[in-house]
A = this chain, B = another copy of it.
């Protein structure tokens, strides 16, 4: 039996690159199918399937913005907004270790500094290091 693990559970929902790229677009304010297709480079069939699943699992809502003909756009649910942290850490890791040259996008945090995201402990506020955590409870590990 594979481990019980929320990483595996999360990846059942978003463990496919077109899903996360579609979510990225909605975070960046792009809400319509044609634009999401263009900005991600996904094929229309794959994108339609991924968006359908993201709505089914409750990360996006499909909201009408025109009646004749009926047209829809995608907006984030609360669970969808929660993915922000994942996309930020993925972008930061990609900037550091995958992209060659300068980061393709540079962001300013609302404190006025260039955004450099880090994962910290909500209690002590220090960065969480690989060897700075230990398992204290598990269904099966």
Spell out A's residues near B (CB within 8 Å): 1-13, 15-17, 20-21, 24, 27-28, 38-41, 58, 76, 79, 81-99, 103-111, 113-126, 128-130, 132-139, 141
**Copy total for this chain:** 2
Please report whether the interface of chain A is mostly helix, strand, loop or mixed according to DSSP: mixed
**Closest Cβ of chain B: how far from A90's Cβ, in Å?**
5
Contacts of A94 on B, CB cut-off 8 Å?
A: 5-10
Residues in B whose Cβ lies below 8 Å from that of A117: 119-122, 128
Is B104 touching A39 in the complex (CB atoms < 8 A)?
no
- Chain B CB count within 10 A is highest, among A90, A115, A133, for A90
* Whole-angstrom distance between the Cβ of A137 and the nearest chain B Cβ: 4
